[in-house]
Amino acid sequence: MARLPGYEEVVRALAKASGLPHLAEVPIYVVYSGSRSRAYARIWGLSKPLQEALGIGPLYVVELLRPFWDLDCEGKTKVLAHELAHIPRTASGALRPHNAYFRRDYKAILRRAGEICDAIKELDRAGRPSL
């Protein structure tokens, strides 16, 4: 796995632009995995017991998988918005399923995605991360 600080900035910008305050406040990290899954990305939340054991608050990790890099800018934006929509309003480290609240937040994030494609295109000029 490799951490992707450039994509962390993109995700933070997307979260901030979404107008959903809980997304702008919780730490979100982005990593690249060489997983052979057919999924584009996964999101991981730090569970409450681990938060307590480590003495830290909630955080989330978005794992970008190999197929993600084959998407165009719009597709990548949709995948990132999809992963952010899994973060519940409590931002507790838990994950939200695909329900009405998920769909509402997903649409809100996409509506305000704005200029995220420009940032993604800039990152992609540097090429795909390697493991």
Q: Provide the residue ranges of all domains of the chain, joining segments of one domain with +.
A: 2-124
Residue 93 · residue 47 · CB < 8 Å: yes
Q: How far apart are CA 127 and CA 66, in angstroms?
A: 13
Task: Flag whether pLDDT at 121 surpasses 80.
Answer: yes
Q: What percent of the chain has pLDDT over 70?
A: 98
What's this model's pTM, rounded to 2 decimal places? 0.94
Angle (deg, nearest 10), helices 5-17 and 116-125: 170
Q: pLDDT, tens digit, for every residue of 48-84?
A: 999 999 999 999 999 999 999 999 999 999 999 999 9
Which CATH architecture describes the domain 2-124?
2-Layer Sandwich (3.30)
Task: Kindly tell me if the per-residue pLDDT of 14 is higher than 70.
Answer: yes
Task: Report the alpha-carbon distance of residue 8 to residue 25 in Å, rounded.
Answer: 14
CA distance 131 to 124: 16
pLDDT of res. 131: 61
Q: Sign (positive/negative) of CA torsion 25, 20, 104, 64? A: negative
Region 10-39 average pLDDT: 94
Q: How many helices (H) and strands (E) does the chain have?
A: 6, 4
| Token pair in block for residue 101 | 């609240």
